Amino acid sequence: MATTSDPQLAGARRAVVWPLGDDPVAHAGARVTSPSAVGVGDLRAANAAAVLAAVRSADRPPRLAALAEATKLSRPTVEVLVEDLVGCGLIEEVAAAPAQGLRSPGRPARRFRFQPRAGFVVGVDVRAHSITACLADLDGRLLTVKRRAVRAGLTGRTRAGAVTATVRDAMEQAGVAAGRVCAATIGTPGLVERGNARIRYVDHMKTWAEVDIVGVVSESLGCPVAVENDANLAALGEHWRGVGTATTEMLFILLGERLGAGIITGGRLLRGHHGAAGEIGFPGRSTAEGPGLGPLAGDRGGAAGPGRARPQAGDREGSDGPGRAQRSATSAAVIAAAADGDADAVGVLESAGRRLAEGIAPILLALDPAVVVLGTSLFPEPRLAPAAELLRGAAERRAAGLLVDPPEWRLSVLGDEAILTGAVRFALSAVDRILHTKPTSLFDA
């Protein structure tokens, strides 16, 4: 893996394509150009990618003959490419067990399997009050998750330092060096620039948008880094490994420190022209009311509007003021009481569910999703599941009364890790593009 001082890496980082994000070049309009010649090196890289894909897709570790048949390449060519892939650590040879009751007179056939821990990706979930980082292998399996509580009033620079420290903690716990990290994705509240390189606006985290968090983490890890809206990542995560895997039309509602949505349409993330698709808020309500049911609770008066939140009494922008803490404690108490069957608390949650359906009804009409997935970060313990179901059921019933073709409403099964799961998926998409084109270049120095 190249280091951060390597000009080749710097150039590669600028040119990296995030397949699940925004490609500014594609939006600028495709130019018709003459086909470029394919050099011997490119052909070898493409053939190596074909061999690697055959290894990864096989039900059991394949032999050289099976790889030659699957790729339509000659056996000698496959042997050379296999050695290349073994040399960079992407595949490994597996000792073949002899058939039961038989003794082979010669050397057993060589078999090979993918080595998912040849490299790793990092996912980060940045919130006002916490930072969570995870490390996953090239199959997307989580190795470790580290969480760190922070003050909401941190400056952007201090928060960036906490991000890199949390990532380092996760890597240290997993025993993974920076040189083996291939890509990272940071989930954040707010608006993110097209190209996934900078945060444009955050209304409740002090000076966070002024920090080049992509540059900071890139310098620390020495790999390509992207930043993406947290609700978008949660939608990706749920679509990848949650309750949305079977649909191509889905709306994910992020309930927690803020209200936001991630949109999957045609099986892909919808970001919008400015990257602000899904920043729904509620008309006349703050998008930064703090942890809990604030955005769904009763009218607080005044028209703050999405992205222009007014601090409540006792709060400063990005603060840990008493108003914010009180709303968080109140919401948690209501949720716990509703889960225990308290009639008043049940009424509050059902009212919140109805208000949610009413608030997003125009979006449902415009997008016509098959499924609406409700994030369950507010319901972190199994004993709170009845409260989550109260919210979901009330929203689904109200939507059915408002829409001709109402969607199905489901609860997230990923809970508080939906954003992290989406961050891993986002980072892996860039790594997979390399593995599908020039796999041996993944660890070029």
Residue 103 has pLDDT above 90, yes or no: no
The 10s digit of each residue's pLDDT in 367-415 is 999 999 999 999 999 999 999 999 999 999 999 999 999 999 999 999 9
pLDDT at 116: 97
Beta-bridge partner residues of 137:
120
Mean pLDDT of the chain: 84
Q: What are the structural domains of the chain?
A: 118-232+420-431 (3.30.420.40), 245-413 (3.30.420.40)
pLDDT of res. 15: 54
Q: How many Å apart are CA 235 and CA 253, to the nearest integer?
A: 8
Is the pLDDT confidence value at 27 over 80? Answer: no
Reported as a single tens digit per residue, the pLDDT across 230-272 is 999 999 999 999 999 999 999 999 987 668 999 999 999 999 9
Supply the pLDDT for residue 108: 77
**3-state SS assignment for residue 133:** strand
Handedness of CA 100, 104, 109, 111 (dihedral sign): positive
Task: Select from 411, 349, 355, 426 the least CA-distant residue to 380.
Answer: 411
In angstroms, what CA-CA distances link 105 with 102, 109, 247, 310?
9, 12, 52, 80
Q: Check residues 309 and 62 and name the one with the higher pLDDT.
A: 62
Residues whose CB falls within 8 Å of the CB of residue 296, separated by 6 or more in sequence, listed in order: 255, 259, 282, 352, 355, 356, 359
The span from the CA of 15 to the CA of 247, in Å, is 32
**pLDDT at residue number 278:** 87
Residue 109, token pair as written in the block: 């056939």
What is the rounded average pLDDT of the residues 355-377? 96
Instruction: Find the distance separating the first CA and the last CA of the chain, reported in whole Å.
Output: 5
**What are the C-alpha distances in Å from 352 to residues 173, 234, 287, 346, 387?**
40, 21, 15, 10, 11
Count how many Cα atoms sit within 13 Å of the Cα of residue 279 in the half-sphere of its side chain: 26
- Sequence-distant (6+) residues with CB within 8 A of 377 are 254, 255, 256, 415, 416, 418
Distances (CA, A) of 2 to 121, 165, 213, 215, 444: 15, 21, 20, 16, 6
CA distance 54 to 44: 15
Higher pLDDT, 292 or 314: 292
Which pLDDT belongs to residue 39?
66
pLDDT at residue 319, rounded to an integer: 47
Percent of the chain with pLDDT over 90: 70
Query: 312-351 burial by CB neighbour count: b if 16+ within 10 A, else e?
Result: beebebbbbbebbbebbeebbebbbbbbeeeeebbebbbb
Does pLDDT of 132 surpass 70?
yes
Half-sphere exposure of 413 (CA within 13 A, CB side): 8
Mean predicted confidence (pLDDT) in 320-337: 71
- 55 phi/psi in degrees, rounded to 5: -65, -45
Q: How far is CA 214 from CA 161, 224, 228, 339, in A?
A: 12, 8, 10, 41
**Each residue's pLDDT tens digit, 1-23:** 443 444 443 444 445 778 888 65
User: How much is the pLDDT for 37?
Assistant: 59
User: What's the whole-number mean pLDDT along residues 45-62?
Assistant: 96
Q: Which of 120, 139, 122 is closest to 214 using CA atoms?
A: 122
Instruction: Give the residue from 368, 367, 409, 364 showing the smallest Cα distance to 390.
Output: 409
Q: How far apart are CA 228 and CA 187, in angstroms?
A: 5
User: What is the side-by-side strand order in the sheet with 250-255?
Assistant: 268-270, 259-265, 250-255, 371-374, 408-411
pLDDT at residue 14, rounded to an integer: 42
3-state DSSP percent of the chain in helix, strand and coil, to 5: 45, 15, 40
Instruction: Tell me: pLDDT of 97 over 80.
Output: no
SS3 354: helix
Examine the pLDDT at 36 and tell me if it is beyond 70: no
pTM (two decimals): 0.85
- How far, CA to CA in Å, does 179 sit from each of 15, 161, 281? 19, 20, 40
**Residues 291, 398: Cα–Cα separation, whole Å:** 24
pLDDT, tens only, 159-210: 999 999 999 999 999 999 999 999 999 999 999 998 899 999 998 898 999 9
Q: Which of 107-116, 221-230, 308-317, 392-401 has the lowest mean pLDDT?
A: 308-317
> Which backbone phi and psi does 125 adopt, to 5 degrees?
-120, 110
